[in-house]
Amino acid sequence: MSGARHWEQDKEATVYIGNLDERVTDSLVWELMLQAGRIVNVHLPKDRVTQSHQGYGFVEFISEEDAEYASRIMNGIRLYGKPIRVNKASADKQKSVEIGAELFVGNLDPMVTEQVLYNTFSRFGNLINLPKVMSTIRP
């Protein structure tokens, strides 16, 4: 299953599996993911001190199609009451850029302007929409 890694992993045929309960084992992940397709390897990285897995891992399938199928049908199922995350390990970086995020920042000093917000947050990446300063008038 997850012995020494001395082969070349096929990243296109590999899924990331996350939010794993501490009771989950390599063999349990193997049996679960086998329902989606033939598996080459299961690897749950271990903590060097405790030797328990770190709550995530990787499953390599025989084919890219099996990995895609696994990410579609296994994402969100519950193991020990926790919904697991299953995504393609080689998820397209461009997709994550397109998703974006919306951030609310409250309790700002009245002197903070939209330009100050723009200058502050643009350091962390491209801003899709310009920041808006909204005032709340309380009676």
Q: Are 34 and 56 contained in the same domain?
A: yes
Q: Which amino acid is at 44?
A: L
Separation in Å, CA 65 to CA 30, 37, 55, 75, 109 = 17, 9, 25, 15, 52
Instruction: Note whether 128 and 61 are same-domain residues.
Output: no
Average pLDDT along the chain: 83
Cα distances from 109 to residues 103, 115, 117, in angstroms, run 17, 14, 12
Same domain, 23 and 72: yes
Assign residue 27 the CATH number of its domain.
3.30.70.330
Residue with more model confidence, 96 or 105 = 105
Q: How many domains does the chain have?
A: 2
Domain limits at 41?
11-89
Is 77's pLDDT higher than 90? Answer: yes
Q: Tell me the pTM.
A: 0.60
Name the pairing type of β-strands 85-88 and 56-61: unpaired
Phi, psi values for residue 51, rounded to 5°: 65, 15
